[in-house]
Copies of this chain bind each other. A is one copy, B any other.
Amino acid sequence: MENKYVKYLRNETLPTEFCVGCGCGTVLNLFCHVIDEMQINPDDIITVTGIGCSSWIPSPYFSADTLHTTHGRAIAFATGVKVMKPGKHVIVIAGDGDLAGIGGNHLIHAARRNIGLTVFLVNNYIYGMTGGQVSPTTPSTVNTATTPYGNVEQPMQIAELVAAAGASYVARWTTYHVFHLKKAMKEAISKKGFSFIEICSQCPTSYGKRVGKREGIDQLLDFKENSMNIQNVSGMREDELEGKYIVGKLVERNRLEFVDGLLNINAQFAEGVR
C-alpha cells in the first residue's frame, strides 16, 4: 500500500535523497496535500527551482513540469514562465541561500513587480548541499564550516524584507506547524500577485549538528517551543526575540499583478496599432 499523496511524486525517484529527518520532505509532503485539497491538476503547475537541497523538493520529486535552473535564478526564470503562461500556477521552491543569498535581488524585484508567482523559501539557516557553510540566515555567533569562530553577521529577516519589497502575500511558518503551513500554502497559491512563504526547516546534517541538534526531531522541537505568532510580538525588544521563530501572516494586500499589467497594454492593440 502507498500513501495516497505519493501519486503526486515521480515514483521512480523515491525514496528521496534527502537526509534522514530533513524538513525538505515535510514541505514536499504538505505541498502534495495542498495540491490535492485544492484539486489542482498538476498539469496546471509549473515548478521552478534553483540549486540546493531545498530545490530538490520539486526537482525531481514533484511530478509536474519542472524547471531546475541555476543557483539563485529560479525567480528570474519563473518570470519568463509566468509571462508566457499566465494561466498556470508557477511555483518556486528553493532554499535560503538560493533565493535570498545569491538570488536576493530577483526576489525583491519580483515582489516589487508583483508578478503572480508563488514562492516557498525553505530556510534551513545554512548552505546544506555544499556542506554547511554560513548562509545569510545563519544566526549570529553560530559556528559553521566557514565561520569556525562564530558568525559575526546578522541573519536576514527574509519575510520582513519581502514584505517591504512589495509582495501581495507574505507569511512565515516552520515545518513543525504543518496545519498552519498547509493553510498558508493554500492562501499563497490562491493569491493573485507575488506570494511568499518563508518556511523554517530543519537540516540535521549541515545545520542541526552545529547547534547541538543532531536529529531532525531536535530542531522540530525547537520550532515547537520557540515559535511566537507575529501578532504577539509587537513591542518586544530585539533581544527578547532572539532565538524565536516569528510565525504567522505578515502581509496580505491587493495590487496590480504584473502580467495583468502587460496584458492590459496588449489589449489596447487588440483592434489595431494605436
Contacts and interface: CB of A to CB of B under 8 A. Distances in A.
Contacts of A157: 164, 166
A154 interface: yes
Interface string A71-105: 00000000000000000000000000000001111
Contact of A265 (B149, B156, B160, B261): B149
Nearest to A152: B261
Interface residues of A, number: 33
Interface stretch (A37-45, A106-114, A224-232): A106-114
Q: Pick the most buried of A112, A114, A166, A255: most chain B CB atoms within 10 A of its CB.
A: A112
Contacts of A113: 153-154
How many copies of this chain? 2
Contact of A112 (B103, B153, B164, B255): B153
Nearest to A149: B265
A157 B166 CA distance: 8
A152 B264 contact: yes
Contact of A261 (B114, B153, B258, B262): B153
A163 interface: yes
A109 B261 CA distance: 30
15 contacts: A103-B105, A104-B109, A105-B105, A108-B161, A112-B136, A112-B155, A152-B264, A153-B261, A154-B166, A156-B165, A156-B166, A157-B166, A161-B164, A161-B165, A164-B164
